[in-house]
Amino acid sequence: MLKQTLAQTTTGRLSTISTKVKKINRHCYSGKTIKQSNEIIHVRIRPSDNRSINDHSNIPSTNRNITTSGYLFENFQSKNELSTIYNNDRDYNRKQRIITNRYLSISSKVAPHKNLIIKNHSHLKTNELSSDQYNLTKDHHKKPEKNTKKKSRTYRCFIIFSLVSILLIAITIAIVLPILLLKSETTTTKTASLRWNTTGITVAGISGVGGRANNQLNTPYDAVVDYSYTLYVVDQGNNRVQKYMRNNSVGTTIAGLENGTAGSSSNQLNSPANVLVDFNGNLYITDILNNRVQYWPNGSSTGTTIAGNATGVAGNSNNLLYSPYGMARDLNTGTLYIADYDNHRIMSYASGASSGVVVAGGNGSGLNNTQLYNPIGLHFDSLSNSLLIANYGSNTVVRWVLGDSNWTLLAGDSNGLSGNTSTLLRNPRDVTLDPMGNMYILDRSNHRVQLYMAGESVGKTIAGVSGIYGNDPNLLNTPRSVELDSQLNLYISDRSNHRIQKFVRY
């Protein structure tokens, strides 16, 4: 009965389709069906027309391919042809992956749908399915074979990707972490190390007592320290410059007269303001009331006029000065920059020149960024090739790049407003930089020294008490200058207290 059903399947066109294909390793007969001991593949085939299951007419004369729901079979003309193909399948199996030793049984009705192909054998031993010849395209009931090679390749790619990702993360951490730690350490060091004892130590003069003795000062105006910690003090009220060896409170007169007599001769000074010391111990002194700058060689008792008029004549021409105060010097070229206070300009004197050149200001006093207003303090910044200028009359500190025609504001109010807040100044007298680019401003009428970290416009009081004057060790009284030694200790000329105060950094 089963053989007849299969024969009909290959020779006729059936109309009703409800096919179950069972794939088994061995079979047994139970009625019209073959039972199986392995997995079952169910296949549904939809008919192309309404022909009866027993209608065998119109068998096509040529082979054709049709698709069942899940299998593509080949339609042959006769049972003999099917048998012939099967007998040749033993060798054909190796090439076309024909599933051997399987049994195909048809339970109930089988309809050769359009393009249906079934290979048959008389004893049903192998109704075999070939995925190449029969084009098995879809079986939603059968679990597909796992593509182990593809999964293995995917797994290897995943492992490689994971290892590369971990390696990249490790390299990033190794590079970035030290930089962040170094930056944090540098920032911490900068902030933590820039601290000073708020109680000053008197290193020259007697606090609150002015005089002419060698251990006394009279309204000192400036103080500088050289590489050997030798202290040089402009003793303005005594018209002289005093030299203090390290840890010595008794000074020696090295410029001007020891008795303090003022004058305009080459061995005299008249209200000196600032002093510069070169590597050889030679002095450059601004002599305010003589309207000149004196060069005083180391060990000499007389000075030579290198800027302004030797006899004390004031003027606004390029070879004259009018109340020179602050100075700065380019160590590479020897060029001297002078704050020409009452001419509201900065003059540049090349080494050996008898006449200067205006490099900043010179447009009258005012608040415009092309003007200066009583420039008094000066610092040359070689890194930016610029001058830092303390504008006494406009309560500002500005930067003027050499060659430019205007300044940029560094501290204070651009409109000239004065005050004692952290952003305002009142009559700034001096300005200097440390090696890190931090700025120190002597805020005269607020009796304090303000620290501005590099790039910031808000100051912090590091010496004195804002707005309060006195002669206590922690107070200042109308100070005039601020200087740093190689350890960044502060030296402040505390003018009205007739002393030089040192504030130790710790």
What tokens appear for 493 in the block? 């000329």
In the block, residue with structure tokens 């001991």: 37
pTM reported for the whole predicted model: 0.65
In a domain, 435, yes or no: yes
In a domain, 226, yes or no: yes
C-alpha 78 chain-centroid distance? 85
pLDDT digits (tens, 9 = 90+) for 254-268: 999 999 999 999 999
What tokens appear for 247 in the block? 């840890």
Residues of the chain with pLDDT under 50: 1-83, 85-86, 89-143, 187-192
Give residue 207's domain range.
Answer: 201-503
455 CB burial (10 A radius; 0-12, 13-18, 19+): exposed
Provide φ and ψ at 68, rounded to 5°. -90, 175
What tokens appear for 333 in the block? 């070229």
**CA–CA separation, 85 and 142 (whole Å):** 27
In a domain, 107, yes or no: no
In a domain, 23, yes or no: no
CATH of the domain at 292: 2.120.10.30
Total number of domains constituting the chain: 1
Report the candidate in 394, 453, 388 with the shortest Cα–Cα distance to residue 424.
Answer: 394
User: Which residue(s) pair with 41 in the sheet?
Assistant: 21
Report the candidate in 304, 294, 443 with the shortest Cα–Cα distance to residue 377.
Answer: 443
Q: How much is the pLDDT for 148?
A: 58
Enumerate the H helices of 194-232 as residue ranges: none
In a domain, 159, yes or no: no
Amino acid symbol at 72: L
Question: How wide is the angle at C-alpha 371 spanned by C-alphas 368 and 374, nearest 5°?
Answer: 120
In a domain, 77, yes or no: no
Q: How much is the pLDDT for 177?
A: 76
In a domain, 439, yes or no: yes
In a domain, 21, yes or no: no
What is the strand order of the sheet 292-296 is part of?
A: 272-277, 283-287, 292-296, 304-308
Burial of 3-36, coded b for 16+ CB within 10 Å and e otherwise, reads eebbbbbbbbbbbebebbbbbbeebeeeeebbeb
Q: What are the angstrom distances between the C-alpha of 483 and each of 365, 399, 468, 490?
A: 28, 19, 21, 6
Q: How much is the pLDDT for 58?
A: 45
Question: How wide is the angle at C-alpha 219 spanned by C-alphas 214 and 222, nearest 5°?
Answer: 90
Q: How much is the pLDDT for 185?
A: 53
CB atoms within 10 A of CB 412: 27
Give strand ranges (E) for 27-110. 28-30, 33-35, 40-42, 64-67, 72-75, 103-106
